[in-house]
Amino acid sequence: MVKKFAMLALLGAFAYSSASESGVLASRAARSINAGKYAKAYNQLERALLASRKESDLLSEGRVLLAMAQIRTQSLDFDFADSLISVVRPEVLDRTTTTSLTLTKVALANARENFSDGAKLCGKADADSVKKSDKSTAATFHAECAISYAGAHRSDNAEESLKMVGKFSSKKGGFYAYTAARIADLTGNASEADSLYRVAEAKSIEGNKPYMTATILYMRSQLKNTPKDEAEDLKLRCKNAFELMGLPNNSKRCGQ
């Protein structure tokens, strides 16, 4: 799960370009997300949504709805995420937000493990619009597509998408390592996946990204080559972290 990268960019650009009430609330939500305070962030986004409707600003409304859908996807509330996406009006979106709409749909498909559906969405996306989107959004789009392609057993496409992730973000960063780890994981290379997850985990802890760290702990606990005792410890750490972030569905999954 890598949407936080794009979500913060989406809300940051929105807040930067708008001194409106909805923009101010979106900026606060971005700070809450960065601190791992998801319940607080979602509440702020709900208020931003009402403000955008009061302002009759459909573009702002679309951005807020997508950020809310991304949080619902991350919190494993997939049907709610789907319902939020369905309200977005594609015809009013700018280039970057259009790309955000597609990547949000792809990320939801990936979270549901409907990788073929995600791959189809990636194949239909307008390459020029993705290229001209802001770097964070483009990187996240390609990361989600890499995961879709890997899960759909389209390894060549997955590797090509990973190259694009490296083009729009640092190859030395945790974001790139996490995407590469997911590809290795989904293609059955558990040893490489574990090695890459560990790199991503260290980078995530260093960068104080609690959601990403907890997600990686969960992914590592599910690898077939992880010793049972270690897997149980990883799940406990994951469970505690998500519980403290106010994400009960994620915490419950870690405890299973």
pTM comes to 0.92
Contact (Cβ atoms closer than 8 angstroms) between residue 238 and residue 218: yes
d(C-alpha 51, C-alpha 30), whole Å = 16
Please give the pLDDT value at position 120.
Answer: 97
pLDDT digits (tens, 9 = 90+) for 34-84: 888 888 999 999 999 999 999 999 999 999 999 999 999 999 999 999 999
Going from N- to C-terminal start, the domains of the chain cover: 1-126, 186-256
Q: What is the DSSP string of 169-188?
A: S-TTSHHHHHHHHHHHHHTT
Confidence at residue 242, expressed as pLDDT on a 0 to 100 scale:
95
234 contact partners, CB below 8 Å, separation of at least 6: 217, 218, 220, 221, 226
Q: For residue 154, what pLDDT is reported?
A: 97
Exposed/middle/buried for 208, CB within 10 Å: 0-12, 13-18, 19+?
A: exposed
pLDDT of res. 1: 45
**Whole-angstrom Cα Rg for the chain:** 17
Helix, strand or coil for residue 62? helix
Residues of the chain under the 70 pLDDT cut: 1-18
Yes or no: say if 213 and 245 are a contact pair by the CB < 8 Å rule: no
